[in-house]
Structure 1
């Protein structure tokens, strides 16, 4: 078992040609045998969407030497489902990594993120999973300062595994020097959203979603604080969304009593 070379599934939401996924592949090649399944078009903000109303395409491509790569017409979550069912044929990889996303997925953004939803799907499949994101939306983003941290985080997960039902949400600040890694909680922060109303050439209204990020959480143990202070944030998250603390309260409401 000591000579076992791990199999690593790499996915993303920015599409198979995005620089972020190629940066991630370069690191994962150092750690194991890499299989890539990624969307053929950008899928940012797709959350945990799956494709059910139309057929899915899955095509093998040769974009990266020595790496088995596929592109699909589906969502980031579809990428993981197709990999497990059609490429690995039910045999699970040792690790699933998603990203590196062009743009942060901290605080509440984790719910909307296609990058993180792909990692969540990996965890649902009992695969140790990590989502990586970087605070630079541009296509020309330089991921080089993130890569040493990507490698050590992936190595530790391969060595130790993760608690059942848990995955990691990792975000990197855009800075000359990343100070280190902070294990954090998700900040109570979100976008104050607005819809910018405009008119098309036919005088019909249409809308662009806009917003300003607002952080109501002043704690120094959050992902937002870590990133603002030039640390990489690592938040353990789970797909069990049960609000366990609310169960005792709801049990006092006596739903089964006759009126």
Structure 2
């Protein structure tokens, strides 16, 4: 069977579950053949070997069962870099690229050292990208998931990023350390894509998310707002910058939460569908380092 026919058949099957059936079929087949996309497209008239066809069919079946494409392939592109992903760790998403861009804008005028503190690092993409782009940052990242910890270390090694402090522990048990940082003159950025799905919303999540991604990276109490409130309790609004992702429909509740905290300079950002999905806040005093 030629590559062209294999792709056409797979694309027709994948059209039931994705808006990008042609591309997904091509990405999966290129991975099975260990070739680039351009090499694949230049070989469409060739006959596919039985071992490769068998591997391809197995991956297509996983995708048709609802497994996210990133887990099927084993990696995801984020900000132009390819990161390993694996079951048990939250998958990076396009919205999180927008969060990173907003965070970089927040710190763009800082000339001296600053702290970047990440709550819930997952695959490590946010902290690694901050470390790559901001050599003046002291990046410290927390997660309670040992699978995420090992994955983030592997991703950091992949890009030869060695300066991040990866902490396998509860972010909120480090108040003494936050207090020490706030006693310095250095700016502090709190960066997070925290759990924000309420219990009711969790039951209605797409199975490709609910069945394949860790519940503790998704689910939050207090209608999905518990982590934002705990962040606000950990830092004074006049001392830190904050950049966080949030869920659809949470903008007004977060506005009230941030106003009660005393936040200044709050800006809400939208995703690729113009839906509010992230916010940034700046301290009432300027810390440029």
TM-score, normalised on structure 1? Answer: 0.36
Structure showing greater radius of gyration is 2
Larger fraction in strand: 1
